[in-house]
Structure 1
Amino acid sequence: MLRLSGLYRYPLKSAMAEPLREAQLDALGVAGDRRWMVVDAASGRFLTQRLLPQMTQLQARWQGAEQLRLSAPGMADLLVAVPGEQAELRGVTIWRDSLRVPDAGEAAARWLSQVLGRDCRLVQVSEARARQVDTAYAEVGDKVAFADGFPLLLIGQGSLDDLSRRVGRPLEMLRFRPNLVVEGAAPYAEDDWKRIRVGTLEFRVAKGCSRCIMTTLDPQTGERSADREPLTTLRGYRQREGEVYFGQNLIACGSGELALGMPVEVLE
């Protein structure tokens, strides 16, 4: 039987994962997931572990619905309020999308600039300001917060186990930053899924997730694999048209609750 064995959110894009036992889903995916983002102060372009591996050491945790707690080694924690209606709007760029979103203020900017060693700002997005998901794979009205392209990412535990065997050492699931992990399926079975149900919630499988250099970072230490694994191995058998794929992007067909252990059913 297939079941939900892992459930994660990432309150701040490219910061530490937050393991969950249960979660609410809203119009943008897991409630509170990737609603905050660090951007370059001058250009507004999004910043991630691809450029700043030290972001692996940055923790962000929601404190209720109106505050975020930021933590990093050697720094006092900082509480940041969700920007109000009067907050300054900042133009930001994430991949090909440009949007205007509220800036979280000077204290957060100073704190993050000290941690990351460059001038940056913290921004936040609400459902009203969220981006349209690529309509080549989604319907008009499907929205995403600050995730790269889709509101949810699913990975089969069997796929990671197979990849670990090929690489020759255990790999951490969090290298791949999924929201949902499903166990009980054959390796890469999720490649062929089109619709699934988890508990009572249905999801459309939009497309495979193309992978980048971030997968070579140890999620605990931020150190990059000297052998560029697991990307090197993935290129050997999971590459097509110049992209390497691992995991599947999902879009939820409504809102509701998820919890670890829920059954997963392949509908199509």
Structure 2
Amino acid sequence: MEFGSEKKILVGCLASSFIFYHTARQIYSYISAKSQEWVPIGVVKGLHIYPIKSCKPIDLFAFKCTKTGPKLGELEDRAFLLVDESTGKFITARQKPKLVHVASHVENEILEITVPGKEKVIVDLKKVVENGRLIRASLFDNLQQDGYDCGDEVGKLLSDYIEEPNYRLIFYKEGLYTERTCVPNDEWWNTPVPKRKDDSGFTDLAPFLIATEASLNALNEKLENKVTMKNFRPSIHVEGCLPWDEDKWAEIRIGDAHLECFAPCTRCVLTTVDPEKGEMSKENQPLKKLREFRLAPEGKMRKAHKDSPVFGVYAGTVKEAYIHVGQTVYVKYKSSVF
């Protein structure tokens, strides 16, 4: 009798284990299937191109998501960079916060640049390229990149504005020497970008920075002095989703454009520059507050990014297409954050 009872218990345990395993597999299959669905999460609230790194954005109704970043006509993201003529070292709003007030526009191969209190300067980019004077810029990690010198007049305008001698504006065009591994961005530069295989072979994913209104609102609830999305300088501004939803995005579809997320955006002191005043926050906000609750998880990510908190996500173009403000944003989710 005792043996029979133990046998029944054993059979019961095996049956329970089978049921548990079967149920677990069904749950996993359901979650996996859901993660492969396109889910509408919000709409595009704003689109922005930053022609000169660290300078004023151009707010747009539409732009094209390309393999090398956002474009509209002759406007390209971070095509221009301010560098020290003698060393090639670049300078940004981290060192000179007032750079966020430098406005620019490109049309018909003419660059217009305006700084507060000065007449705008016109640069003929066709002549700049014909001139052929190259300056080799020194980027993060001493990576090198060539750019066409945009001339004395704009060099003097910007040098006087930042109160530093001998700075030159350089213009990067495809075909020039570069050790850069991805399109420049104020928070992300020269970081290896994963490659994805498509119909044309292996292609680099150039980064778009995407941030959400809900995450901004969640941050502002914790801040005494509120900040705006301009502090975070995204390419694509999305509204309508839950706070920090972007941590779980794997892919994004907007109209015919298809993007793939490949990294969270870790933040630096540039977020503390007030876009209206052109000054850094004396309280180091919002960076200080973000460090309290948005650091990368323990492990390799924390070791790599240390005290740089996460706000937003980087994505690269899989399928090129135009997108515009007001379009629905669809995503596929990952099984876990980051």
User: What is the TM-score when the length of structure 2 is the normalising length?
Assistant: 0.73
Q: Deviations over 1:116-166 (max 9, x none)?
A: 1112001111233363234453456427xxxxxx53100011000100011
Q: Deviations over 1:172-211 (max 9, x none)?
A: 1010000001111110100110111011100011101111
CA distance in 2 between partners of 1:166 and 1:249 (Å): 24
Partner of 1:117: 163
Residue 258 in structure 1 maps to residue 303 in structure 2: no
Q: Is this contact kept in 2: 1:27–1:255, CA < 8 A?
A: yes
Aligned CA RMSD, in angstroms, stands at 1.7
Query: Identity percentage over the alignment?
Result: 28
- Map 1:74-85; keep pairs closer than 5 Å: 74-82=117-125, 83-85=128-130
- Sort the Cα spacing of 1:136 and 1:25 in 2 relative to 1 into closer, same or farther, 3 A: closer
Runs of 4+ in structure 1 over 3 Å off: 134-141
Partner of 1:40: 84
CA distance in 2 between partners of 1:93 and 1:138 (Å): 25
- Map 1:1-268; keep pairs closer than 5 Å: 1-31=41-71, 32-62=76-106, 64-82=107-125, 83-96=128-141, 97-118=143-164, 119-129=166-176, 131-133=180-182, 134-135=191-192, 137-139=194-196, 141-142=203-204, 151-240=207-296, 241=302, 242=306, 243-268=308-333
CA distance in 2 between partners of 1:66 and 1:153 (Å): 26
* Ranges in structure 1 where 5+ consecutive residues have no aligned partner: 144-149
Q: Is this contact kept in 2: 1:87–1:104, CA < 8 A?
A: no
Q: Is the partner of 1:170 in helix, strand or coil?
A: coil
Answer with 199-208 or 103-112: which moved more.
103-112
CA distance in 2 between partners of 1:169 and 1:112 (Å): 31
Q: Is this contact kept in 1: 2:247–2:313, CA < 8 A?
A: yes
Q: Deviations over 1:21-51 (max 9, x none)?
A: 1112333211111111111121111110000
CA distance in 2 between partners of 1:44 and 1:170 (Å): 36
Residue type of the partner of 2:181?
Q
Q: Is this contact kept in 2: 1:104–1:121, CA < 8 A?
A: yes
CA distance in 1 between partners of 2:277 and 2:192 (Å): 37
Where is the helix percentage greater, Structure 1 or Structure 2? 2
* Ranges in structure 2 where 5+ consecutive residues have no aligned partner: 1-40, 183-190, 197-201, 297-301, 334-338
CA distance in 2 between partners of 1:47 and 1:109 (Å): 13
Cα displacement (A) at 1:228: 1.1
User: What is the TM-score when the length of structure 1 is the normalising length?
Assistant: 0.92
Bigger radius of gyration, 1 or 2? 2
Answer with 189-198 or 25-34: which moved more.
25-34
